[in-house]
């Protein structure tokens, strides 16, 4: 994307060139593997020493894994779950699946057995690739997932889970990629589950190309000579996979693989300085914590060129701090699982309006529409929507035509976010049309948490909402009605938190729990989360006053 143009010139001149036949693996791996020394991944071993993996090494291992998957009877369109964090095998696994025409299903290591069971069964996963730390979760889930045929470990072996590296030792390291259409399915990410259970958003191979304009704009004409990419965002999430790892690999840019169990700003600065990271994805929550560290550029020899951020508003103070202290602009990006990287900003080609979601990324058409898909006047609040078709748009919700159909109105994909568009074409967030919680960069649906809480032996029913939080934007609060004869206590609070932690994900554990005698409901018994949210926001406003 040329840097000499301004936004309007870029937007008006942009044209998609999506070939009819396309396979992501060829673009993110094979073409770079022709150079035997081209580095794909950089990491740090347990001994503290830096290691590197070339694209040719990734290709060799991905070819071996593709051969293994085919030998086990998997055919085009079958699903493979990658229950791994920022691990070289995560990246290799995706490439191998795409080579073989399979659908990769990333899953977060934060999830408990119930969440994994649901995802395995929903899409009929046949093979799981994981590590020893997450094997107990898979073993619990496997009791209820008949479609799962094989489990492989990347870091050891167990009675029912052989070593993947060991199994691949005798596999051929050459593989002819399956001929795939650009519209053939490639990967599937689950939504936040804002209304009902999470849905599997199925993405095509063309989605790789659809992501590129957003990354190239957001990272100020990415790539530039010497770029190295990193983010603490887990590669199990769409942001980590398609906003960081694969766009970098598409352009042959090395990626630092490093994710601590808890985000440590000093450690983050140290790693970026040590490995000369020049481009990064950092959420506003991360940036707020990092802002507390004095003089990071000098102390850690930082050389950041550009930062992308999203999930919540960055704010004027963070913009100024990043420019003044880090010497790098923060360009905000917006997207969702179904349609990612479709709004954004770039200080290089447009004025920044702190708090705005940005403008439509070249190649994407954004609008504010009513519930029937009719465009609304400038300044009116309505549904933030994107015009289909669009290469970054999902193919469907997995085997859920009703939900897929209801996501669209008159050719517009309805995001579920309420927003307005100003006279300059900048979009401004005004809330959710549903009950999603935005916390520390995660978009969290209440339904799964409420279902888990309702299974606790002391709980009759529960409602979960997001409440204002100065660091996280929102934190999770649960309102719980207890069974008769059970009294509230701090011990019960901790027991309930542990119960959710065991069944779902750590980031879905309620930070606050309030025991109530009843919950507000409609006449048909539907919980009115909106009333609970309003009460909490009124409290927060009173406390600030």
Domains and CATH numbers, the chain: 437-544 (3.30.300.30)
Type and span of the H or E element at 153: strand 150-153
Contacts 24+ apart (CB under 8 A), 117-121: 117/141, 117/144, 117/145, 118/197, 118/198, 119/81, 119/190, 119/198, 119/200, 120/81, 120/145, 120/147, 120/148, 121/145, 121/147
pLDDT of 541 above 80? no
Is residue 525 very low, low, confident or very high in pLDDT (cuts 50, 70, 90)?
very low
Question: Of 142, 140, 149, 310, which Cα lies nearest the Cα of 233?
Answer: 310
3-state SS class at 473: strand
Question: What confidence tens digit (pLDDT) does each residue in 444-472 have?
Answer: 777 678 878 888 999 887 889 888 888 87
Higher pLDDT, 481 or 338: 338
Q: State pTM to two decimals.
A: 0.83
Q: Once rounded to an integer, what is the mean pLDDT over residues 281-297? A: 88
Q: Is the dihedral of CA 131, 132, 135, 137 positive or negative?
A: negative
CA distance linking residue 444 with residue 435, whole number of Å = 9
Q: What does DSSP assign to residue 375?
A: B
**Alpha helices, H only, 193-264:** 207-218, 238-240, 246-250
> What's the pLDDT score for residue 526?
55
The number of residues in the chain equals 545
Which pair of structure tokens corresponds to residue 27?
Answer: 């673009």
Give the CA diameter of the chain: 70
> What's the pLDDT score for residue 91?
98
> What's the pLDDT score for residue 448?
73
130 φ, ψ (degrees, to nearest 5)? -145, -170
Which pair of structure tokens corresponds to residue 412?
Answer: 């517009």
Question: What confidence tens digit (pLDDT) does each residue in 343-376 have?
Answer: 999 999 999 998 899 999 999 999 999 999 999 9
Higher pLDDT, 268 or 507: 268
Q: Once rounded to an integer, what is the mean pLDDT over residues 19-27? A: 98
> What's the pLDDT score for residue 432?
65
> What's the pLDDT score for residue 311?
76
DSSP string across 311-354: SS---HHHHHHIIIIIS--EEEEEEETTEEEEEE--TTTS---T
Interior CA angle at 474 toward 473 and 476, to 5°? 160
CA distance linking residue 374 with residue 370, whole number of Å = 5
Least confident of 220-229, 466-475, 526-535: 526-535
CB 484 within 8 A of CB 432: no
CA distance linking residue 209 with residue 440, whole number of Å = 28
> What's the pLDDT score for residue 4?
55
Least confident of 76-85, 108-117, 304-313: 304-313
Least confident of 134-138, 145-149, 515-519, 534-538: 534-538
Higher pLDDT, 449 or 439: 449
3-state SS class at 411: coil
Average pLDDT, the chain: 91
Inter-axis angle of helices 490-503 and 113-123, to 10 degrees? 30
Higher pLDDT, 503 or 395: 395
Question: What confidence tens digit (pLDDT) does each residue in 36-89 have?
Answer: 999 999 999 888 899 999 999 999 999 999 999 999 999 999 999 999 999 999
Which pair of structure tokens corresponds to residue 68?
Answer: 């293994």
pLDDT of 402 above 90? yes
Q: Is the dihedral of CA 291, 444, 417, 480 positive or negative?
A: negative
Percentage above 90 pLDDT, the chain: 73
% helix / strand / coil in the chain, to the nearest 5? 30, 25, 45
pLDDT of 109 above 50? yes
- Using CB atoms within 10 A of its CB, is residue 325 exposed (0-12), middle (13-18) or buried (19+)? middle
Is residue 524 very low, low, confident or very high in pLDDT (cuts 50, 70, 90)?
very low
Q: Is the dihedral of CA 461, 500, 234, 300 positive or negative?
A: positive
Count of CB atoms situated within 10 Å of the CB of 470: 9
Q: For residue 156, is it left (φ>0), alpha (ψ between -120 and 50) or beta?
A: left
Is residue 523 very low, low, confident or very high in pLDDT (cuts 50, 70, 90)?
very low
CA distance linking residue 472 with residue 286, whole number of Å = 9
Higher pLDDT, 197 or 216: 216
Tokens 């030792």 sit on residue: 169
Question: Of 204, 251, 205, 259, which Cα lies nearest the Cα of 230?
Answer: 259
Percentage above 70 pLDDT, the chain: 95
Q: What does DSSP assign to residue 406?
A: H
């Amino acid at each position: 994307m040329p840097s000499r143009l301004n936004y309007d010139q870029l937007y008006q001149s942009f044209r998609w060139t999506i070939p009819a036949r396309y396979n992501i693996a060829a673009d993110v791996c094979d073409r770079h593997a022709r150079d035997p020394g081209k580095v794909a991944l950089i990491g740090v071993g347990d001994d503290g020493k830096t290691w590197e993996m070339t694209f040719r090494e990734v290709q060799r291992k991905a070819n071996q894994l593709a051969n293994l998957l085919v030998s086990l009877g998997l055919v085009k369109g079958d699903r493979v779950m990658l229950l791994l964090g920022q691990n070289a095998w995560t990246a290799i696994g995706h490439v191998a699946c795409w080579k073989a025409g399979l659908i990769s299903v990333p899953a977060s290591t934060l999830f408990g057995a119930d969440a994994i069971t649901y995802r395995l069964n929903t899409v009929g996963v046949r093979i799981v690739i994981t590590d020893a730390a997450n094997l107990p979760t898979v073993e619990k889930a496997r009791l209820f997932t008949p479609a799962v045929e094989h489990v492989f470990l990347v870091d050891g072996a167990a009675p029912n889970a052989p070593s993947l590296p060991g199994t691949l030792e005798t596999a051929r390291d050459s593989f002819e990629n399956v001929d795939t259409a650009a519209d053939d399915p490639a990967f599937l990410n689950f939504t936040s589950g804002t209304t009902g259970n999470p849905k599997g958003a199925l993405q095509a191979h063309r989605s790789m190309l659809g992501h590129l304009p957003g990354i190239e704009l957001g990272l100020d004409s990415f790539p530039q000579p010497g770029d190295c990419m990193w983010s603490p965002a887990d590669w199990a999430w769409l942001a980590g996979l398609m906003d960081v790892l694969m766009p970098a690999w598409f352009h042959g840019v090395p990626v630092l693989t490093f994710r601590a169990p808890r985000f440590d700003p000093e450690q983050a600065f140290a790693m970026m300085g040590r490995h000369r990271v020049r481009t990064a994805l950092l959420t506003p929550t991360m940036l707020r914590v990092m802002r507390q560290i004095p003089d990071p550029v000098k102390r850690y020899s930082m050389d950041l060129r550009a930062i992308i951020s999203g999930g919540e508003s960055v704010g004027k103070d963070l913009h100024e701090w990043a420019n003044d202290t880090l010497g790098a602009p923060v360009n905000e990006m917006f997207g969702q699982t179904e349609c990612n990287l479709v709004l954004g900003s770039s200080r290089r080609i447009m004025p920044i309006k702190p708090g705005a979601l940005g403008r439509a990324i070249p190649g994407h058409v954004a609008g504010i529409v009513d519930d029937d898909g009719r465009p609304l006047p400038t300044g009116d609040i309505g549904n933030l929507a994107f015009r289909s078709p669009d290469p970054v748009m999902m193919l469907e919700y997995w085997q859920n035509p009703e939900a897929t159909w209801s996501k669209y109105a008159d050719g517009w994909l309805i995001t579920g976010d309420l927003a307005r568009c100003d006279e300059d074409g900048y979009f401004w967030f005004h809330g959710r049309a549903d009950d999603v919680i935005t916390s520390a960069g995660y978009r969290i649906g209440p339904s799964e948490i409420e279902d888990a809480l309702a299974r606790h032996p002391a709980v009759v029913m529960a409602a979960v909402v997001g409440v204002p939080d100065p660091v996280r934007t929102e934190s999770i609060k649960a309102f719980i009605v207890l069974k008769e004869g059970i009294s509230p206590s701090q011990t019960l609070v901790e027991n309930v938190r542990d119960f959710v932690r065991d069944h779902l994900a750590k980031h879905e554990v309620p930070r606050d729990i309030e025991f109530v005698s009843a919950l507000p409901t409609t006449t048909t018994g539907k919980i009115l989360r909106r009333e609970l949210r309003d009460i909490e926001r009124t409290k927060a406003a009173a406390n600030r006053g």
